[in-house]
Amino acid sequence: MASAQEPTTGPRLTQRRRAAGEPAHPADPAYLDLDALERQARELLPPDVVDHFAGGADRETTLGEATAAWRAWRLRPRVLTDVGPVALATTLLGTDVATPVGIAPWAHQAMAHPEGERATARGAAATGALVTVSTSSTTSLEDVAAVRPTGPRWFQLYRLHSPAHTDDLARRAGRAGYTALVLTADLPVLGRRLRDLRNDFALPAGLPLPHHPPADGTGPAPAGTPRWTTADIARFADLSGLPVVVKGVLRGDDAARCVAAGASAVWVSTHGGRQADPVVASAAALPEVVEAVGTEAEVYADGGIRSGSDVLTALALGARAVFVGRPAIWGLATGGADGVARVIGGLTGELAHTMALCGLDDVRAVGRDAVARAAWR
């Protein structure tokens, strides 16, 4: 039984845990409740903007199954392992990060908060997390770099415009000190986002899109339907001078082809359930991709990560890191940089707590035997 000097809940315990560098307990006021955070963001943002960020494609089957797919696995704790402080730091393509939880790219962040990607970059920097900047960001990649000159950052590339314009973006990312180029490969055409169609959604007038050609027609002409092949992996690596990550991989054979063509990493992703629907969930696709790649390249995952146990499951299935999108959006909308930092810090704290409960003390050494399929499935 705890003594009066060792409370089991409440602000005093929260303060003690913070002072000791421990994660908050679910009973503490500091506990991160992502559902409550989303509800708060919905109260602050216009309904059509919420739908733009929250919605998926077609019937949203993929979107709805994303988190449940991680919960189809069960943790297998070890006991009597002399677990000490949990080591959370790792490397991504040789770059040091303080947590295996990174921020996925997402577009139009100034619709969630006036500071947009600048605030997201500061929030990531506060937690030592990697941030991925979108081609459709509302802040230029150079300005994000100025906010975070030494922090780990990647640039995500779409082919939305002329080849010359896209190639120039790749070169700019290399010159601006980004440490990887992320090719989003699952967008040959835009998915049917029905919420946007029902709302007749349009970007606000004057929303800056510095990586897109000017809307007055003075920029390069669009290239039509984007057509990328595995040959573009090596080409973009040469253009940018950066390692290339291929994002949107859901098949082992595709992963192997990308690595054979020069990809340094593959990123298992359903694009937030916003492209083809229904498709296999990231949690279901991850083991096949990891097996196909072996030790030849790093593997990452996103899609429905909502808790520290989800992160641990992904690590056990072979991901070196995970990325979150919508939780970071809601953090940005409700608290700017501090809100983003709280989301990443909260998930990282939950991960550390869950790992300690499972007898694990290093994110770089989580094995496949840490999880099993739920017996009832």
Q: Residue 326, annotated ligand binder?
A: yes
Burial of 230 by CB count in 10 Å (0-12 exposed, 13-18 middle, 19+ buried)? Answer: middle
Burial of 56 by CB count in 10 Å (0-12 exposed, 13-18 middle, 19+ buried)? Answer: buried
Q: Catalytic one among 161, 165, 271, 353? A: 271
Q: Residue 193, annotated ligand binder?
A: yes
Q: Residue 84, annotated ligand binder?
A: no
Q: Residue 134, annotated ligand binder?
A: yes
d(CA 173, CA 153): 10
Q: Residue 304, annotated ligand binder?
A: yes
Q: Residue 39, annotated ligand binder?
A: no
- Token pair belonging to 103: 């921020």
Q: Residue 12, annotated ligand binder?
A: no
Q: Residue 269, annotated ligand binder?
A: yes
Q: Residue 235, annotated ligand binder?
A: no
- Biggest alpha carbon distance in the chain? 72
d(CA 247, CA 233): 12
Q: Residue 271, annotated ligand binder?
A: yes
d(CA 80, CA 95): 33
Task: Show Cβ contacts of residue 136 under 8 Å, excluding neighbours closer than 6 positions.
Answer: 107, 108, 158, 160, 209, 211, 212
Q: Residue 247, annotated ligand binder?
A: yes
Q: Residue 107, annotated ligand binder?
A: yes
Annotation marks residue 271 as catalytic:
yes
The helix or strand, by DSSP H or E, that contains position 246, with its residue range, turns out to be: strand 244-249
- In the block, residue with structure tokens 């020069």: 262
Active site residues: 271
Mark the binding-site residues for glyoxylate, compressed into ranges. Answer: 193, 271, 274
Mark the binding-site residues, compressed into ranges. Answer: 105-107, 134, 156, 158, 184, 193, 247, 269, 271, 274, 302-306, 325-326
Mark the binding-site residues for FMN, compressed into ranges. Answer: 105-107, 134, 156, 158, 184, 247, 269, 302-306, 325-326
